[in-house]
Amino acid sequence: MKWLKEKGYGGAFIWALDFDDFTGKSCGKGPYPLLNAISSELEGESENPEITTEEPSITETEAYDTDETEGWLVIRRIKMLDHYLFISYAFYLEYDVV
């Protein structure tokens, strides 16, 4: 949680919520100890900073398919400033253009 706060992230994401103790019997801290620990650490930490960024220009390129997706089905590739955003059915990845 300290690292999250130092980096200025707005919250935490739990990949496998099913590992939290729903019954409260494993660690003796009541039900949902993982969620409660995150919530209590981040409580009161939220700020609503003024937005000072300009709207980015977005250039859409043609959709493409390839047989070599390495497990990814690429639906759309969008050029945004110096990043490419690859959108998949389930989630997305962002790549810096070097």
49 belongs to a structural domain: no
Residues 34 and 66 in one domain: no
pLDDT of 98 above 70 = no
Residue 15 lies in a domain: yes
Tell me if 20 is assigned to some domain: yes
What pLDDT is attached to residue 46? 53
62 and 91 inside one domain: yes
For position 41, what pLDDT does the model report? 80
Q: Please tell me the pTM assigned to this model.
A: 0.38
Helices (H), 11-52: 33-42
The band of 42, judged by pLDDT with boundaries at 50, 70 and 90, is confident
> 48 lies in a domain?
no
Does the residue 64 lie in any domain? yes
pLDDT of amino acid 88: 47
Range of the domain at 33: 2-42
- Residue 51 covered by a domain: no
Q: How many domains does the chain have?
A: 2
Q: Is residue 89 part of a domain?
A: yes
pLDDT digit string, tens, across residues 56-93? 777 776 665 555 555 555 455 545 555 555 544 444 44
Claim to verify: residue 38 and residue 62 sit in the same structural domain: no
In a domain, 47, yes or no: no
Work out whether the CA dihedral 68, 72, 18, 29 comes out positive or negative.
Answer: positive
Q: Could you read off the pLDDT of 5-27 as tens digits, one per residue?
A: 788 777 777 777 777 777 877 77
